[in-house]
Amino acid sequence: MSGREIKIGLFGAGNVGRHLLAAFREAPNVNIVGLWNRHPAKWKAVAGEIPVVPEPEQMPDADVFILALKDDVLQNFSRRLSGRDILTVHTSGAMPSDVLQTARRGVFYPLQTFAPESRVEWERVPLLVWASETNDLTLLQDLAGRISKNVRIIDDRQRAQLHVAAVFTSNFTNVMMQMARAITDKAGIPYELLLPLARQNFENILNNNPADVLTGPARRGDVRTIEKHLRLLREMGLANEAEIYKELTAWIRKRFDLDK
């Protein structure tokens, strides 16, 4: 979509805000009227011709105000914009839309992980939008469609549930790889030896139902190997990792009815 010009004010220069700035700069007929951050210097380094406003109340009028801010500040911060008749949205997966203390409010949530220097393929990023008013929801769909081909209407409850699933998909997967590295580091083995396995695993689960391609000792019911792994982890001083191994093994055995 590339219809009429949409004006946005962007608040917050964290990872999400900075990636959104880059995306909107490339989007057709999107005019970024201003940027705000608690520390203005974070925006000034990348703002170029876009004004950096010193106070939220000084943001120029726009069609949409986007608050790419931490969850715990959204409620109080949005009160500073409550007198403006402008659709105000947050980018949080966990917070409901009504946390915003403005008359017109909604959500503009990109379901993606944003590292500082990572390249984001915005066309493929699911952009989950929500607003209670039909006209506002249509506006958000239009705006989202200018940077992504994957725009979905997801309400507050669905988005919160999806956010939990996203934590398992991204954050906990990352932590599992950190644990794997702790094991290889303690053993004096190159961590890089695991990377082809990780790539193949993700290839498998991206192209199949994950349950259909799960392998390993827990899936096979290989009790002897499981006990050996637990013993090795404890001998290496990785007691926490051993407990997590036990819990995940128990989950797999229950999931596939291996305890009958």
Q: What DSSP string describes 31-90? A: EEEEEE-SSTHHHHHHHTTS-B-SSGGGPPP-SEEEE---GGGHHHHHHTTTTS-SEEEE
pLDDT tens for each residue of 164-196 = 999 999 999 999 999 999 999 999 999 999 999
Average pLDDT of the chain, as a whole number? 95
Q: Which residues, at least 6 apart from 188, have a Cβ–Cβ distance to it below 8 Å?
A: none
pLDDT, average across residues 97-107: 97
Strand, helix or coil at 102? coil
% of the chain residues with pLDDT over 70:
99
- Of 154, 184, 210, the position where a domain reaches its end is 154
Q: Quick one: tokens of 68? A: 């790419």
Tell me, what's the pLDDT at 118? Answer: 83
Percent of the chain at pLDDT exceeding 90:
94
Looking at the fold, whether 105 and 136 belong to one and the same domain comes out as yes
Tokens of 238: 């990785």
Q: Both 181 and 221 in a single domain?
A: yes
Contacts within 8 Å (CB) and 24+ apart, 133-139: 133/104, 136/87, 136/104, 136/106, 137/106, 139/6, 139/63, 139/64, 139/87
179 and 68: one domain?
Answer: no
Number of domains in the chain: 2
State how far the Cα of 6 lies from the Cα of 88, in Å rounded to an integer.
Answer: 14
Task: Please report whether residue 260 resides in a domain.
Answer: no
Map residue 6 onto helix, strand or coil: strand
Whether residues 19 and 97 share a domain: the answer is yes
Task: Report the CATH number that the domain containing residue 110 is assigned in CATH.
Answer: 3.40.50.720
Is there a single domain that holds both residue 19 and residue 146? yes
Q: What is the pLDDT of residue 117?
A: 80
Same domain as 146, residue 48: yes
Per-residue pLDDT, averaged over 122-144, amounts to 97
188-241 per-position pLDDT tens digit: 999 999 999 999 999 999 999 999 999 999 999 999 999 999 999 999 999 999
Q: Rounded to an integer, what distance in angstroms lies between the CA atom of residue 145 and that of residue 131? A: 16
Q: Which long-range contacts (CB under 8 A, 24 or more apart) does 94-103 make?
A: 94/160, 94/163, 95/71, 96/156, 96/160, 97/130, 97/131, 97/132, 97/156, 98/156, 99/74, 99/75, 100/67, 100/74, 100/75, 101/75, 102/78
* Among candidate residues 154, 182, 207, the one where a domain is terminated: 154
Q: What is the pTM of this model?
A: 0.90
157 and 151 in contact (C-beta within 8 Å)?
no
pLDDT of residue 1: 44
**Whether residue 59 sits in one domain with residue 182:** no
**Three-class secondary structure assignment of 121-170:** CHHHCCEEEEECCHHHHHHHHHHHHCCCCCEEECCHHHHHHHHHHHHHHH
6-62: pLDDT as tens digits:
999 999 999 999 999 999 999 999 999 999 999 999 998 899 999 999 999 999 999
Mean pLDDT of 97-101: 97
CATH code assigned at 210: 1.10.1040.20
* pLDDT at position 2: 59
Domain assignment present for 55? yes
Quick check: is 37 in a domain? yes
Per-residue pLDDT at 115 exceeds 90: no
Task: Say whether both 140 and 187 belong to one domain.
Answer: no
- Same domain for 11 and 63, yes or no, is yes
What is the domain range of residue 219? 160-255
